[in-house]
Chains A and B, each alone.
Chain A
Amino acid sequence: MTGQAFFVLTALADGPRHGYAIVGDVAELSQGRVKLKIGSLYGVLGRLAGAGLIEPDREEAHDGRLRRYYRLTRDGRKALAEEAELRAATASVVRARLGRRGPQVAG
């Protein structure tokens, strides 16, 4: 799973969101490191929807336009949980190794 997909799924973990809300949430979750452009966002959403990990939730009118909300499917929730476990396990290994040798900063 790519970093973008992971952040998009995470953005939807606590409830449905529309496109731009996902962009904002991903930027916040990644502390500004992942700034999705709309083309990239919908590329990811299309793939996730194709893989059955997300689905449309509802549409709401806003300023004369319809905002479509997306939510996680059961498979999506499971995939996100597995990915989070994997990343957490990796992070703990990294922390343990760094702890053994201590952070070494060049210069």
Chain B
Amino acid sequence: MTGEPGLEQRYRRVLCLLPGYYREQWEEDMVAAFLDSWLTGYPDTDEYVLEFCKPGWQEVASVILLAGRLYLGGAGAPRRYFAWGQAVRYTVLALLMVHAVRGLDGLRLVFLARGLHPVGIVPAPPAAMAPVPGIAWPVGAWYLAGYAWIVVFAALVLGHYRAARGLAAMAAALDLAWLAQGQLTGALLSPYGSWAFWMLHDLVPVLAMAAFHRDAPPVARWPWLLALPATYLLVAVPELAATATGHQAWVPDLPGQSCILVAVLCVAHTPRALSGRAGTGVWSLTLVLLAAAAAAYRIASFGDYLQGHYLQDPHLINVGLAELLILVAAVALVAPSAARAQTAMPAAPLHPQPG
């Protein structure tokens, strides 16, 4: 004996990834089946196997996937895991909606550029979108990804999870290509914020879309589909109004808009959160997750203020800190309800799909 953990102990360590309630019910059975799959019935061989072998990566991956599905629970899961599952699903939808809003704005810019807008104002494209001389494809990739995110959002809402995942991975790759070329050519004006945005709004949702599994309850279609144009108007109308009246300097940058938008949603949700009505806790938990994403984006963007193009405006950091404070104060209103969501949720309906 070497004193090293044997095959069984190694597998049990992997199983520690699973939630406690699940291990209590299934661990011994899983260990027995796992060891059965290794043992040969020849004592010498089995002794060697038990002492020196390790679970294969496919075996470990199957446990990780199972753990992901259990923690992001669906129908029939314990209320704590169901609450987390729902909150992650709502958060993914909200993050994707930001992309979809960007896609809609891309459409608006294209219409404006072609003179199809009834008002007839043709603004310059965003500074960050200025094409590098001789390289035209990044702008096309940016617009194409924006349109793809609209389809991803709609596909997810309508229950086409697999199609949404595949298209989301492609859209994230397009965004990554656009970012990478900007980084390599020096065209990226705010690299810290841009990379943070990609990680928080591309990578995280693509990974967290695992929460949309077979046990996940269907998304409420109409509220989410209507939320897209509503959010677009909520963001675009004040921005256009500020631009039209010459007050563009009052419009916060994208990290600031994220903080303020989430703060407004927290304040709007507070009366419901305080009422303690069933289901409000999941939304509170969702808002806490969105606030964490907005705060991370805001903090990462400070890197851009400390160097590069924004050095000339020291007030930006103060404004950013104020936005963070507003966000923290607003999220504190719903945090207690979010904490209660994990224990006070009504039991999830027991309608799991076979297989």
Report which A residues bind B (CB closer than 8 A): 1-2, 4-6, 8, 18-20, 23, 37-44, 46-48, 50-51, 53, 62-63, 65-68, 79
Contact = CB atoms under 8 A, between A and B. Distances in A.
A39 B61 CA distance: 8
Interface in B333-355: 350, 352-355
Interface string B11-38: 0000000000010001011111111110
Interface stretch (B62-70, B94-102, B130-138, B173-181): B62-70
B215 interface: yes
A62 B32 contact: yes
B353 A41 contact: no
B76 interface: yes
Interface string B212-230: 0011000000000000000
Contacts of A37: 58-59, 61-62
Contacts of A63: 35, 39
Contacts of A5: 354-355
A89 B30 CA distance: 36
B130 to A, nearest CB: 48
B137 to A, nearest CB: 34
A42 B66 contact: yes
A65 to B, nearest CB: 4
A39 B352 contact: no
A43 B29 CA distance: 13
Given A38-B34, A51-B352, A67-B33, 17 more contacts: A1-B355, A4-B355, A18-B32, A19-B32, A20-B32, A23-B37, A37-B59, A38-B33, A38-B63, A39-B65, A42-B26, A43-B66, A43-B69, A46-B22, A47-B214, A50-B352, A66-B32
Given A38-B62, A39-B63, A48-B354, A23 B215 contact: no
Contacts of B214: 2, 47
Interface residues of B, number: 30
A contact patch SS: helix
B170 to A, nearest CB: 25
A63 to B, nearest CB: 7
B30 A6 contact: no
A2 B30 CA distance: 21
A36 to B, nearest CB: 8
Interface string B198-215: 000000000000000011
B76 A50 contact: yes
A40 B31 CA distance: 13
B355 A38 contact: no
Given A38-B59, A39-B63, A65-B35, A47 B29 contact: no
Contacts of B355: 1-2, 4-6, 8, 44, 47-48
Closest 6 CB pairs of A and B: A5-B355, A39-B62, A19-B33, A20-B36, A37-B62, A2-B355
Contacts of B61: 37, 39
A103 B353 CA distance: 36
Nearest to A59: B29
A65 B32 CA distance: 6
A1 B354 contact: yes
A95 B69 CA distance: 37
Contacts of A40: 62, 65-66
Interface in B36-93: 36-37, 39, 58-59, 61-66, 69, 76
A79 B62 CA distance: 26
B73 to A, nearest CB: 11
Contacts of A41: 33
B353 A46 contact: no
Nearest to B354: A51
